[in-house]
Amino acid sequence: MKKYMFLGIFGALVMACATNPITGKQNLNFVSNSELFPTSFQQYSTFLSENKVITGTADAKLVENVGFKIKAAAEKYLTYLGQSQYLKDYRWEYKLVDNKEVNAWCLPGGKIVVYSGILPITQNESGLATVMGHEVSHALANHGAQRMSAAQLQQIGGAVLDAATTNKSAQTREIFSQAYGMGTEVGVMLPFSRSNESEADKIGLTLMAIAGYNPDDAIAFWTRMSAKSGGSGTPEFMSTHPSDATRIANIKALIPEAKAIALKVGTIK
């Protein structure tokens, strides 16, 4: 029985791996866009109805303008990659929301929210493009679906462990369960999240460059973000995000590639 369970899980993993057109990587993904997007769009509508959306101001217009440029850059880049149909089901929106939290996000399918609290740190259009390019990249790379799939796999692994230790004592099973939970969180889930963040930084720089912004400006933004946090926080190995120093160093190394791709693809006029 256990043998067939493991074979079934292995088969599911093989079938669930798909190549993402913008990264060129095979990723674990149990959730299709046709399943994910309707829920995403509904969540976005609900969020907007429950929060104060800022409209008609210079900041709101800036968010829309930068959002349009990042969208156009994504379309141009995917066309260059021969994947112009990839965005056919996206329903782009860019909203500024009155919230003091330093945050922004993009739901699957291109639904973007920028909190007003991050604007003092973005400071200018290129700073905002850094943020929005990064968040859009999470959606383009299907990171939301990947995290959902990884969480499902983590649960499946826990069930397999539970079945494999059925004949053990309750105390032994609890020890195995706790070790599995901590091990998969620190050894798999958190590194996976940090990898997603670094991948979004890389794609975001490319979109930023194609959109006509200077990706060098991303360094200034992340430096300001680091100053805002005081350079302190959770140790990197326990965090979902790379440390500020790691992120800035990675971005500096990735900028030449982003500029080179933008030269090949062409920039948004």
Q: Which of 93, 135, 197, 199 is catalytic?
A: 135
Per-residue b or e along 95-106, where b marks 16 or more CB atoms closer than 10 Å to that residue's CB: bbbebeebebbb
One-letter-per-residue 3-state SS of the chain: CHHHHHHHHHHHHHHHEEECCCCCCEEECCCCHHHHHHHHHHHHHHHHHHCCEECCCHHHHHHHHHHHHHHHHHHHHHHHCCCHHHHCCCCCEEEEECCCCCCEEEECCCEEEEEHHHHHHHCCHHHHHHHHHHHHHHHHCCHHHHHHHHHHHHHHHHHHHHHHCCCCCHHHHHHHHHHHHHHHHHHHHHHHHHHHHHHHHHHHHHHHHHCCCCCCHHHHHHHHHHHHHCCCCCCHHHCCCCCHHHHHHHHHHHHHHHHHHHHHHCCCC
Q: Is 135 annotated as catalytic?
A: yes
CA distance 71 to 45: 20
| In contact, 61 and 117? CB cutoff 8 Å | no
Q: Which residues are catalytic?
A: 135
